[in-house]
Each structure stands twice: as structure tokens, then as C-alpha cells.
Structure 1
Amino acid sequence: MQKKWVMVTGADRGVGLSLVKQLLDQGYHVFAGQYQQENDNALGQLKASHKERLQVLQLDISDEESVKLALDAVSAVTDRVDILINNGAILGDIQATVQDELDFAEMEQVFRVNTLGALRMSNGLIEPLLLSESRLIVNISSEAGSIGACRRTSWYAYCMSKAALNMQSQLIHNQISEQGGKVMVIHPGHVQTYMQGKLDTTGSLTPDESARHILQLVENRLKLDDVEQGLMLTDYAGNVLPW
């Protein structure tokens, strides 16, 4: 049986780490993009127990050279990647409004990660993806990127970068759907993560719960033969959100 490979970015902790764990449990081979460089970490522990089924790659998706090195490492192992999960993201300032002093340099970095980082990965892996059976790109977006549902007065970097990710997803969908490719755009829910620098205990979902929902949506999508299905922004439960 041919190996099934999945690439997950932002796999150090939170939803990304939970996705890696559950994908391994489902029998996938996984490339896990690791941004932080601690020696004693959860990915290292997973690697020890899963050996060749988990490849941990140092990966800063905002950096062109880092992405190139990671992609070279992927191509050294396989010529096909079945699923790319663009999960890596940062938050940026969520307090400042248009009447405050805005940190534009920080905003640019958020875009380099959340929007351009995902595009770097999709661009770099598009041919291995289209050679696979699944041919699926999963972009982890957010309800914060929904213009139709927006009620915020701040979160400039995060909201705008996720809205741009949604547009990116549509552009890619328009291209690869003609070649059997599929794109999903998923809001993972309000998750208990460390994106604000400390654990957000107000989140209604644990990372494991969010990842389980996401992978169920992925499984459902892979079962559909209709590659022409229109692209939608959905939440972790499958509810459609306005663009």
C-alpha cells in the first residue's frame, strides 16, 4: 500500500500538534513543520515513538529560505504529498484601533506568516499534491477573516491576513479544481491555545477537540467525488460562515 503523506505547518503545539498526533493515529505519514527550536518538545517525543512515519522539519513559513530547505527535505523522501494543512499563524496586536498608534511592521510580519506563508507552502507543494490521490489543501482560517460577520473594531493584522487567506484559497481552488484538486477553508473554533502569549482558558474547545473536528471534515471531503464543489468558509462543525 502506498504511503499517505500529510504536511502540517505550525505543528509545535496547539491545534497543529494535535493534528499531527491524530494523523499519526490514523496511519498517515506526517511532515511536521516546527518553528520553535527547543530540544525537549512534544514533536521530539512523537518522533521517538513513530520513527519513520514522522518527519520533523525546522520551518519558518515567513522565510523563503526556510521554506525551500523544508521542501527539499520533503522531496528527498517522497514525490507525492496527499494533504497540505496550512495551520501556522500568529496573532499580532488585537487591541489597537484606527484611532491608536498602529504597529505596521508587526502587521507586515503577520501577513508574511498567515497569508504569504500559506501561499509559499501551497506554491511549493502544488505539484507533489496534484500527483497524489487526495490532492487536498486545507487552509486553517478564522471567523475573524469573515467580512460578512465582522463586528470587531481592532485585530487589524489577524482579521485582514485571514481575509486575504480566504481570497488566496479561492484563487487556488479556481485553478486546481480543474485538475482534480480540492481546497478547504476551516475556522477551527475558539481554541484554548497560546496565540496570545499565554493559555487562553476562555476557549470552548481544546486543541484535541478542534483537531478531531477538522480531520472529520477532511475525511468527509475526501469521500466526495465532486471536485467541482464550490469553496466555502466553514467552522469546525461544518457550519457555513459568510465570506
Structure 2
Amino acid sequence: MQKKWVVVTGADRGVGLSLVKQLLDQGYHVFAGQFQQENDNALGQLKASHKERLQVLQLDISSEDSVKLALDEVSAVTDRVDILINNGAVLGDIQATVQEELDFAEMEQVFRVNTLGALRMSNGFIEPLLRSESRLIVNISSEAGSIGACRRTSWYAYCMSKAALNMQSQLIHNGISGQGGKVMVIHPGHVQTYMQGKLDEAGSLTPDESAAYILQRIENRLKQDEEGLELTLTDYAGNTLPW
């Protein structure tokens, strides 16, 4: 049976780590992007038990050089990538309103990660992706990027960066759908993660639950014909959200 190759960014913890675990359980060969540099980490433990099917990449998606090095590492192993999951993201300030002092330098960093980081990855890996059978880019977005559903008065960096990610996804979809390429834009749900610096216990989903839903959406998408299929922003359960 032909090997299936997946690249996952932001795989240190949370949904990204859960996606890696479950993809390995499904038999995929996974390249996991690691940003944190701790010696004792969950990815390292996974690597010990999945030596042949997990390769950890030191990856900072806000850096063009880091993405290029990651592409070189992947290309040394395989000439194709079946699925790219752009999961890496940062939150930024979620409190300040337009009537308060805004940290524009931090906002720029959030865009470098959440929006341009995904584009760096998709741009860098587009040729290996289009050489594969699945040819799928999965952008983990957010309901926070939905303009139609927006009721917030803050979260500037995160909301705006995810809205821009949604537009990026549409542009890529327009460019590769004629070549059999596929794009998905998924809101992973309100997940119990550490994006705010501490565990968000208010989240309705664990990372494992969110990852399982996302992978089910991916499986369903791979079974669909591409011709005439419009790109939509969907949540983890498959519901369509307004752009």
C-alpha cells in the first residue's frame, strides 16, 4: 500500500499534537512542526514509539528560512505530500478595543504567524502537494475570522488574521482546483487549549475531540469530487459559517 504523507504545523501541543497522534493511529506518515524547544516533550515521546512514521521538524512558520529548511527535510524523504494541515497560530491581545492603546507590533507578529505562516507553508509545499493523490490543504481557521458572525469589540489581531486566512484559502482554492487541488477551512470549535497562556477550561471540546472531528471532516472531503465544489468556512461538526 502506498504511504500517505501529512505535514502538521503547530504540533507541539493542543489540537496540533492531537492531530499528529490520531494521524499516526490511522497509519499516516507524519511530519510534525515543532516550535517550542523543550527537551522533554510530547512529540519526543511520540517519536520514540513511532520512529518510522513520525519526523519532527523544528519549524517557525513566521520565518521564511525555517519553512525552507522544513521543506528540504521533507523533500529528502518524499517527493510528495498528501495533506498539509496549517494549524500553527498565536492569539495576541484579546482585550484592547479601538479606544485603548493597541500593540501594533504584536499584531504584525500575529499576522506573520496566522496568515503569512500558513501561506509560506502552502506556497513552499504546493508542488509536493500537487504531485500527491489527495492534494489537500487544510487551514485551521476560526469563527473569529467570520465577518458575518462577528460580535466582538476586541481580538483585533486574531480576528483579522483569521479573516485574512479565509481569503487566502479562497485564492488558493481558485488557483489549484483546476489541477485537482483541494482546500478546506475549518473552525476547530472552542477547544481547551493554552493559547491564552493558561488552560481555557471554558472550552467545550478537548483537543482530542476537536482533532477527531477535524479528521472526520478531512475524510469526508477526500471522498468528494472537486468539480463545481465551492469553498466554505465550516466548523468541526460540518456546519457552514458565514464568511
Aligned residues: 243
Corresponding residue number in structure 2 for 1:49: 49
Equivalent-residue separation in structure 2 for 1:78 and 1:228 (angstroms): 31
Could you tell me which amino acid in structure 1 is paired with residue 220 of structure 2? N
User: Aligned ranges for residues 20-35 of structure 1 at < 5 Å?
Assistant: 20-35=20-35
Q: Is the 8 A contact 1:16 1:88 kept in 2?
A: yes
- Corresponding letter in the other structure for 1:189: G
* 1:59-110 Cα deviation digits (max 9, x unpaired): 0000111111111101000000000000000000000000000000000000
For 1:224 and 1:239, locate their aligned partners in 2 and report how far apart those are by CA, in whole Å: 16
Query: CA-to-partner distance for each residue in 1:25-49, whole Å, 9 max, x for gaps?
Result: 0000000000001111000000000
8 Å CA contact 2:182, 2:226 repeated in 1: no
How far apart, in 2, do the equivalents of 1:61 and 1:52 lie?
Answer: 25
Matched, 1:82 2:97: no
Residue of structure 2 equivalent to 1:222: 222
How far did residue 2 of structure 1 move? 1.6
Q: Read off the aligned partner of 1:42 and give its amino acid letter.
A: A
C-alpha distance in 2 between matches for 1:90 and 1:41? 19
**1:129-168 counterparts in 2 under 5 A?**
129-168=129-168
Q: Which residue of 2 aligns with 1:112?
A: 112
Give the drift of 1:226.
3.0
Residues 58-69 of structure 1 correspond to what in structure 2 (within 5 A)? Answer: 58-69=58-69
Secondary structure, counterpart of 1:68 in structure 2: helix
- Structure 2 distance, partners of 1:141, 1:227, is 24
Q: For 2:227 and 2:63, locate their aligned partners in 1 and report how far apart those are by CA, in whole Å.
A: 32
**Is 1:189 equivalent to 2:156 in the alignment?**
no
1:201 paired to 2:204: no
Q: Residue 173 of structure 1 contacts residue 231 of structure 1 at CA under 8 Å; is this kept in 2?
A: yes
Q: Which amino acid aligns with 2:218?
A: V
Q: Distance in 2 between matches of 1:227 and 1:19?
A: 28
Secondary structure of the structure 1 residue equivalent to 2:51:
helix
Local SS of the residue matching 1:185: strand
- Displacement, 1:227? 4.2
Larger displacement relative to structure 2 (61-70 or 185-194): 61-70
Q: Where do 1:174-185 residues align within 5 Å?
A: 174-185=174-185
Contact 1:182 1:227 survives alignment (8 Å): no
Letter in 2 for 1:222: L
In structure 2, runs of 5+ residues without a counterpart are none
Q: Note if contact 1:177-1:228 (Cα within 8 Å) is conserved in structure 2.
A: no
CA RMSD of aligned residues (A): 0.5
* Letter of the 2:225 counterpart: D
Q: Are the aligned partners of 1:181 and 1:227 in contact in 2 as well (CA < 8 Å)?
A: no
> Deviation of residue 228 (structure 1)?
3.3
Q: Mapping of 1:93-108 within 5 angstroms?
A: 93-108=93-108
- On the 8 A contact 1:7/1:32 being kept in 2, the answer is yes
**Which whole-Å CA distance do the structure 2 matches of 1:52 and 1:62 have between them?**
28
Is the Cα–Cα contact under 8 Å of residues 177 and 226 in structure 2 kept in the other structure?
Answer: no
SS in 2 for 1:199: coil
Q: Does the CA-based 8 Å contact 1:86-1:139 persist in structure 2? A: yes
1:70 aligns with 2:75: no
1:125 partner letter: F
Percent identity (aligned): 90
Q: Is the 8 A contact 1:142 1:162 kept in 2?
A: yes
State the distance in 2 between where 1:96 and 1:20 align. 34
Q: Could you list the runs of 4 or more consecutive aligned residues of structure 1 that deviate by over 6 angstroms after TM superposition?
A: none
CA drift at 1:145: 0.1
